[in-house]
Amino acid sequence: MITAALGRNICRGAFGVGVVTIVVLSLLSQPSMPDIDMSDKTGHFLAYGGVMTVGGLGFWSDRQRIILVIGLFLLGITMELLQGLTADRHMSLLDIGANSGGILTGLILAVSITWAVLWQDAKKA
């Protein structure tokens, strides 16, 4: 059985792996990118939303989650600015919007799941 502490640690690890993956994929040259049949904006939304969800499940306090939201938002902007400096990538405000939508959705999911878990635990007590 997975304890709450172990579950949070697994989510924290997944968050770290997710952030590294976002950085690497954001800075790879376009021809090196995996060919996935999906909208670029959908990919941004899912990547940032997934990372925010596991981060929000790994870090439960409001302060920690606010730091995650701000940090991921700034990461998205930084990645877009750096893409503008590469030869075959370009900066896109729409990508920043998709990232932000994913972050907000991930936060809502993480908070909802946390509340559901805490509510179930309270019912058992």
Model pLDDT for residues 82-106, shown as the tens digit of each residue: 998 988 888 999 999 999 999 999 9
Q: Residue 16 has what pLDDT?
A: 97
Q: Residue 28 has what pLDDT?
A: 86
Residue of 98, 86, 56, 13 lying closest to 21 (CA atoms) = 13
Q: Residue 31 has what pLDDT?
A: 65
Taking CA atoms, 40 is separated from 19, 46, 61, 98, 114, in Å, by 18, 10, 32, 9, 30
Residue numbers of the chain with a pLDDT score lower than 50: none
pTM (whole model) above 0.85: yes
The terminus-to-terminus CA distance of the chain in angstroms comes to: 18
Q: Residue 83 has what pLDDT?
A: 92
Q: Residue 69 has what pLDDT?
A: 98
| Angle (nearest 5°) at CA 56 between 52 and 57 | 120
Burial of 16 (0-12, 13-18, 19+ CB in 10 A): middle
Phi, then psi, of 23 in degrees rounded to 5: -60, -50
Q: Is the separation of the CB atoms in 111 and 57 below 8 Å? A: no
